[in-house]
Amino acid sequence: MKFIRKKAALPPLGLLTIAAMLPHDWSMRLVDMNVSKLGDEDLSWADCAFVSAMSVQRVSAQAAISRCKMAGLRVVAGGPLFIGEHGEFEDVDHFVLNEAELTLAPFLADLENGCAGRIYDTSGFCDIRKTPAPMWDLLNLNQYASMSIQFSRGCPFNCEFCNVTSLFGHRPRIKTSGQILAELDGLYNRGWRGQVFFVDDNFIGNKTFLKTDLLPALIQWQKGKKMIPFNTEASINLADDGELMTMMVNAGFDTVFIGIETPDEKGLAECNKQQNMNRDMIESIKVMQHSGLQVQGGFIVGFDSDTPSIFQRQIEFIQKSGIVTAMVGILNAPPGTKLYERMKKEGRLTGFFSGDNVDGKTNIIPVMGIDTLKDGYRSMIQYLYSPKQYYKRARNFIREYKMPRTRIPVDFQRIMAAFRSSIQLGFFGRECFQYWKILFWTFFRRPRLVPMAITFAIYGHHFRKIAKSSSNE
């Protein structure tokens, strides 16, 4: 963020969507605590505070709620943190849980009639074709590195450690192409020209609709504009559909996050990651890279079937794959998952689920022993994000990557980031030799990818801070 002079990666899409569902005669103000502090003036201005948070924001949310109550505000809370832990927040006046398209309207009606209850809940799933566009007017777009929109909810798979299906169901529900284009127009007309993240947990849950409707509409929308880069999350079976990958690239997608989890078949079977089993995952990753998609990956250690050899196996897989952004975490059991229920039944739950993927902690008692797991995890991330190994992995990707013809333009902020990185990393960073090595290598071998090499260098600078912090836990 500092290199590109931004304050946060993404805006709070949930709150922006909630805002569009509130009465239009209400005066609203957004305080994104990733961007600005919650000020006393904000509290004195307001009558009511709507608070949303994820598990990783538990402590911050508790502090914000306490301040709101001390200021005399009515507090309404919703979002992933409160769905599983609303009993832990005594200061909250009302909980609007699960999908607000179903639970917010009854709360607002009761509030209007002076009889609002404490908990509004549902086990049903809404029709997101009726979900309004986020209220972008509440944002200062210049504070963010990327915008986000949602096309679908739900996932057809059923991974044991994942709470997506408990929150959103197995059947992918989708918005219309018209809704998506309207949301994009809303951003574009406000001057946004940067990256847009489709936050779907599995963007390709409905391949037929993508091919016949949404992607053709996005390809048409991009015409006559500076190409807006898109990225999203998908399952690894995307690699099996060449037509779908080509259409995604033509529509502007340049990056996908894939849940790889583990190269061990026993681990995949244990967590019911069936879509990853019985395939050459390295080859699947290379297929996506050759199609013009950068693959970012999620990895997990600490499955019951894992032995101490898993750490080296993960290292070898990640280095060979050329996945530059490898999010490696220890297995945790989020509330609402099958894993959570299994660990509870076996008496292996310990403490809260932190929601922090890289804090080196877990809320379950691992079979291999907690000390062995933590030591192996620390060693693994220290190796993966050491300058030599990180830049080697980046070079592997740059060598394999096939840059699409629909080239994404480099904006002024990225040019300035390149200048700042050259000063800080090229002259003052401990990776200065590796930094100049990859830049010169890329310049002479893949000159069009020099901006990407610089971006990877900046990412690596950040990742090493995270790796160091995790190692000190």
> pLDDT digit string (tens) for 372-404?
999 999 999 999 999 999 999 999 999 989 988
Query: Residue 83's pLDDT is what?
Result: 92
Per-residue pLDDT at 405 exceeds 60: yes
Q: Which of 88, 89, 85, 96 is nearest to 118 (CA)?
A: 96
Confidence band (pLDDT; 50, 70, 90) for 415?
low
3-class secondary-structure state, position 132: coil
More confident site: 342 or 5: 342
In this structure, what DSSP letter does residue 244 have? H
Which residues lie below 8 Å from residue 214, measured CB to CB, with a gap of 6+?
Answer: 151, 174, 177, 180
Question: Is the pLDDT assigned to residue 407 strictly greater than 60?
Answer: no
309 Cβ neighbours under 8 A, 6+ residues apart: none
In three-state secondary structure terms, 386 is coil
Confidence class for position 414, pLDDT limits 50, 70, 90? low
Question: What pLDDT is attached to residue 109?
Answer: 98
Q: Could you count the other beta carbons within 10 Å of the beta carbon of residue 223?
A: 7
CA distance 454 to 370: 37
pLDDT value at 28 more than 80: yes
The label of the residue with tokens 């779908």 reads 244
Closest-CA residue to 201 (of 247, 255, 164, 245)? 164
Question: What does 285-311 look like in DSSP terms, one character per residue?
Answer: HHHHHHHT-EEEEEEEE--TT--TTHH
Q: How far is CA 245 from the centre of its chain?
A: 20
User: Cβ(89)–Cβ(62) under 8 Å?
Assistant: yes
Rounded CA-CA distance 379/415 in Å is 35
Distance of CA 234 to the CA centre of its chain: 11
Q: How far is CA 57 from CA 22, 39, 134, 329, 409, in A?
A: 24, 18, 22, 18, 35
∠ CA 139-254-469 to the nearest 5 degrees? 70
**pLDDT tens across 65-86, in order?**
999 999 999 999 999 999 989 9
Whether the model clears a pTM of 0.85, i.e. scores above it, the answer is yes
CA distances from 144 to 140, 148, 467 (A): 8, 10, 24
| DSSP state, residue 364 | B
Tokens of 440: 């010169």
Query: Do residues 275 and 269 make contact, with C-beta atoms less than 8 angstroms apart?
Result: no
CA atoms of 200 and 169, how far apart (whole Å): 13
| Phi, psi at 299, each rounded to 5° | -135, 150
Question: What structural domains does the chain harbor?
Answer: 13-120 (3.40.50.280), 145-399 (3.20.20.70)
Q: Which of 280-289, 425-434, 441-450 has the lowest mean pLDDT?
A: 425-434
Taking the CA atoms of 181, 186, 187 and 193 in sequence, report the sign of the dihedral they define: positive
Q: Identify the helix (H) or strand (E) that includes residue 9.
A: none
Q: Considering only CA atoms, which of 95, 45, 83, 37 is closest in space to residue 63?
A: 37
What is the 8-class DSSP label of residue 5?
T
Angle at 225 between CA 222 and CA 226, to 5 degrees: 105
Given a contact cutoff of 8 angstroms between Cβ atoms, the answer to whether 124 and 103 are in contact is: no
- Tens-digit pLDDT profile for residues 147-158: 999 999 999 899
CB 200 within 8 A of CB 152: yes
Q: Rg for the chain (alpha carbons), in Å?
A: 23
pLDDT in the model for residue 412:
60
Q: What is the end-to-end Cα distance of the chain in Å, rounded?
A: 24
| CB-based contact 91:75 (threshold 8 Å) | yes
Six-digit token string for 44: 């004195």
Q: How far apart are CA 238 and CA 236, in angstroms?
A: 5
Q: What average pLDDT score do residues 197-223 get?
A: 96
